[in-house]
Amino acid sequence: MSEPDRFEDDLLYALTRTGEGFRPDQADQPGMVAGGYQRGRRRWRHRSAAAVVGGAAALALVGTGAVYLTGSASPSGAGTVAAAPAASTGAGTGLTPASAGAGTPTPTATAAVTGDEVLSTFKALLPKGGITEASGRGTDDPQTKGTFASAELVFDDGAGKSRLMLGVQKHRPGQGQDRSCPELKPGQLDACSVTTLADGSKLYLSEGYEYPDHRADTKEWMASLTGPDGREINLSEWNSPQEKGAPDSRPNPPLTLDQLKVIVTDKSWDRIVAAVKPDGVDDAAQSTGLSLQDRQATLAKLLPAGVTVTKVDGNEVFTNVQLRQGGTSGSLVLRVQKLVQQPGDKATEKLFEGATVLPEGGLLKLYGPGTSDSKAMPMADVLRGDLRVMAAQGPTGKPLLSLDQLKAIATSPEWTLKR
């Protein structure tokens, strides 16, 4: 998946998320092997894209920067070979939670870990049993660029084979989202809990099914740990040697929820978490230094007479603005961004292909009625040096601003970098 596609994927998730069971883990990284849950979520997000913005306008919204409208996301980390990690106290028994402090802050990204190291860490935490079809993915994998580590295998304690899959990632501050338990309904989840550990980590445990509609009776039990340092460690197990498409080999998965808890909270993951790079977009690096209050004050001077701001929220780059004109409410998406591009990144250049050159030398792209992308949401996107300003009709309420008015907002010289 290309850079623009990945950003588009995340933006539309942020714009259309319902908060009902979708969580922003990084399913957008190329080659990520986090299983059917993530792939299904990505398909859902792509379907949402067409419903919200459409075509080139979606790419203009995301381009090469932050995509979240609020501080919480979303959506949603050359190898050095080290010795295989030793098992922590209690490892292999699944009975003694020896590492309640697993979520404590760890150093920033360290030397890469290999897939073999991730797999060895996982194996060391399992009880006695046979292991086959084992594989690992480390932070040295060029496909995930260090933002993800994983291991999976087939485990057999003598009572039948079970597929186990584990993934490790790390979110930037404000870009993670804890799991929550839905209302328990017969046949969907047999058990679910969310607890806060001593170090502030949140632990989600559930006993559920691969298919809520029970087209097959395969069970999926899982543990998910989110920590103050941004870590997210997910572990799933099935009572089948495959996640899907294989007969059940035993009545239940082999590990109890307590055993799953011991694995995801173990201190031996600290070293791997430290090697995983944060996923998502670094909003702080693209901040113009304009606070929400600064942006609101500038916008108030640029809005047409009779249109007022009733509420703003957002992050360092995006602002979601609620508007009112008389008795009618509407919204505006405002992007004010310091452009930060990686070497060789051509995404922004492609976004502004065919743009109108402004008198002061900036570039302007328009979307919506009367443009080449006439079915897109009305939007004006401006690039002046390393400052990008975009004003777009928001997803809620009535359209209160014309395309010309959006253009006037985006092209205004009032927008400047404060740092």
Residue 259 has pLDDT above 80, yes or no: yes
Confidence of residue 336 (pLDDT cuts 50, 70, 90): confident
More confident residue, 37 or 18: 37
Please say whether the dihedral angle defined by the alpha carbons of residues 8, 66, 275 and 264, taken in this order, is positive or negative: negative
Cα 99 from chain centre: 26
CA-to-CA distance for 341 and 345, rounded, in angstroms?
6
- Predicted local confidence at residue 173, as pLDDT: 74
Angstrom CA distances, 233 to 78, 243, 261, 339, stand at 23, 18, 11, 32
- Predicted local confidence at residue 199, as pLDDT: 93
Over residues 351-378, mean pLDDT: 88
Choice among 6-10, 169-173, 182-186 with the minimum mean pLDDT? 6-10
More confident residue, 11 or 344: 344
CATH of domain 284-411: 3.40.1000
Find tokens 């950003």 and name the residue. Answer: 7
**Range among 203-207, 280-284, 340-344, 368-372 with highest mean pLDDT value:** 203-207
Angstrom CA distances, 223 to 2, 165, 206, 263, stand at 31, 11, 7, 9
Rounded to the nearest integer, the mean pLDDT of the chain is 74
- Predicted local confidence at residue 281, as pLDDT: 62
Confidence of residue 26 (pLDDT cuts 50, 70, 90): very low
User: Domain map of the chain by residue range?
Assistant: 3-62, 115-275, 284-411
Choice among 50-59, 159-168, 224-233, 352-361 with the minimum mean pLDDT? 50-59
> For 380, phi and psi rounded to 5 degrees?
-125, 130
CA-to-CA distance for 405 and 400, rounded, in angstroms?
9
- Decide: 254 and 159 in contact? Cβ < 8 Å: yes
- Predicted local confidence at residue 124, as pLDDT: 96
| CB-CB neighbours of 375 under 10 Å | 12
CA-to-CA distance for 15 and 247, rounded, in angstroms?
39
Over residues 339-366, mean pLDDT: 80
- Predicted local confidence at residue 342, as pLDDT: 60
The predicted-structure confidence for 275-329, as pLDDT tens digits, reads as follows: 998 876 656 656 666 778 888 888 999 999 999 999 988 877 788 999 999 999 9
- Predicted local confidence at residue 395, as pLDDT: 86
- Predicted local confidence at residue 245, as pLDDT: 82
Percent of the chain whose pLDDT exceeds 90: 41
Residue 351: closest CA among 157, 63, 50: 63
Would you give the DSSP letter of residue 223?
A: E
Percent of the chain whose pLDDT exceeds 70: 68
The predicted-structure confidence for 90-133, as pLDDT tens digits, reads as follows: 333 333 333 333 333 434 446 889 999 999 999 999 999 999 99
Residue 354 has pLDDT above 80, yes or no: yes
